[in-house]
Structure 1
Amino acid sequence: MQTGSDKAESTIYAANEADFRKVYDALMALLFKVSYRIVNDEEAAEDLVHDSLIKMHEKELVFPSLDDAKYWLIRVVKNASLNYAKRKTREKKAYERFLKEDRRQTDSGETELLKAETLRRTREALEKLPVNLKTVLILKEYAELNYKEIGRVLGITEGNVKVRVFRAREQLSKLIGEDDVYLPR
C-alpha cells in the first residue's frame, strides 16, 4: 500500500523543472514513435511532441504519477498528429485540385515555366533571409501559426513576431522583385 508521502513523491508537477525533465526523459522516445507512426515525418513528429510537452508545462498540469502524465501526453500527441496528418492531406488535395484546375484553364507552357521560375526564385530568396526572419515567416506561412503561437515557440513577444514577419515579407519582396513574379488569376 502506498503511503501519503510515497504518493506525494510520485506526483508530477509539469511546471516544476525537475518533474518536467523527468517526464521528458522518460517519455520523449515513446511520444516520438507515436507521432512518427501517424505523420511519417521525423521533423514534424518531433515538433508535435515538443508542442505537446510545452502545452503540459504551460498549463502547469499536475499528475498523480508518471503513468498518468504518459497517458495524457500520448492522447495529446496522438490527437495533434492526427490533426496534422489530416491538414497535410487536405493541403495536398487542395494543391492537386488547384493544379488540375489551372491546367484546364491554360494549356500554355509559358505559364508553367513562369510558375516554376517564381517558385524557384521564392525558395532562393527565402534562403537568403536572416535566420530570425526566415523562421518567423516559415512558422507564419507554412506552419500556419498565429503571432501569439510563434512568440511562444521562439520565446519572443507577439509584437516582435509581427515586426519580424513584416520585415521578412518586405525583404522577400525586394529579393524576388514583385514585378517579375507570375501570379495566376
Structure 2
Amino acid sequence: MFDRQEGAQSAHIYAANEADFRKVYDAVMSLLFKVSYRIVNDEEAAEDLVHDSLIKMHEKQLVFPSLDDAKYWLIRVVKNASLNYAKRKTRERKAYERALKEDRRQTDSGETELLKAETMKKTKEALNKLPVNLKMVLILKEYAELNYKEIGRVLGITEGNVKVRVFRAREQLAKLIGEDDVYLPR
C-alpha cells in the first residue's frame, strides 16, 4: 500500500490516522445518522450503529483513495448494519408477541381452573339427568361434533327432528345447570 510518510501530499484517507479519522467523522457523521435513523426509527440505535461502523473502519485500518470513497463505504456498512438491526428487532417483536399469546392460552389462574372444573362437573351431572333421546343428540352434536344430518342418520330420525331435540336438550340443560352458576370462558 501507499506509505503515509512518503506521500504527505496524497489525498488518501487513512482510517487509523487520528486527523484523517476526524476528517471522515466530521464529513459523514450526520449523513450516516440520517441513513440509519430512517431505517431503524430509533435515535439511540442509529447512533450506536453509526459509531460501530466508524470503529470498524478505524480498527481495520482501512485506506481510502479519497474522502468520498470512505463516505460511500461507510454508507454501505451503516445501511447493511441498520437493515440487519431492523430485521432482528422485527423477529424479536414477533417472537415476543407469540410468547404473550401462548402464555394467555396456556395459563389460567387457579380460580379459573376451579371454575372450569366445577362447570364440567355440573354439566356432566345435568347431562345425565336428561332423557336418553335428548342426551344422545347433545352428545353427538357437542362432543362427537356431528352435523344434524349425520346425527339423524345415526339415530334414524329426520334432520328436523334432530334440530328440535338439540334445542330442547340445550333448554333443559340450561335449566338444570342454572346459567348464572356456570363459568363461561371468554
TM-score in terms of structure 1 length: 0.54
Q: CA–CA distance in 1 between the matches of 2:166 and 2:78? A: 28
Alignment of 1:144-155 (within 5 A): none
* Structure 2 unaligned residues grouped into runs of 5+: none
- Report which stretch shifted further, 111-120 or 16-25: 111-120
Say if 1:180 and 1:62 are closer, same or farther in 2 by CA, change over 3 A: farther
Say if 1:83 and 1:176 are closer, same or farther in 2 by CA, change over 3 A: farther
Shift of 1:90: 0.3
Say if 1:139 and 1:90 are closer, same or farther in 2 by CA, change over 3 A: farther
Q: Which residue of 2 aligns with 1:158?
A: 159
Say if 1:45 and 1:157 are closer, same or farther in 2 by CA, change over 3 A: farther
TM-score in terms of structure 2 length: 0.54
Say if 1:60 and 1:145 are closer, same or farther in 2 by CA, change over 3 A: farther
Say if 1:106 and 1:82 are closer, same or farther in 2 by CA, change over 3 A: same
Say if 1:75 and 1:99 are closer, same or farther in 2 by CA, change over 3 A: same
Say if 1:80 and 1:64 are closer, same or farther in 2 by CA, change over 3 A: same
Shift of 1:99: 0.5
User: Identical aligned pairs, as a percentage?
Assistant: 91
Shift of 1:107: 2.8
- Report which stretch shifted further, 26-35 or 135-144: 135-144
- Report which stretch shifted further, 71-80 or 164-173: 164-173
Q: Deviations over 1:32-75 (max 9, x none)?
A: 00000000000000000000000000000000000000000000
Shift of 1:106: 1.0
Q: Which residue of 2 aligns with 1:55?
A: 56
Q: CA–CA distance in 2 between the matches of 1:68 and 1:142? A: 71
Say if 1:178 and 1:144 are closer, same or farther in 2 by CA, change over 3 A: same
* Structure 1 unaligned residues grouped into runs of 5+: none
- Larger helix proportion of the pair: 1
Superposed CA RMSD: 24.0
Say if 1:39 and 1:158 are closer, same or farther in 2 by CA, change over 3 A: farther
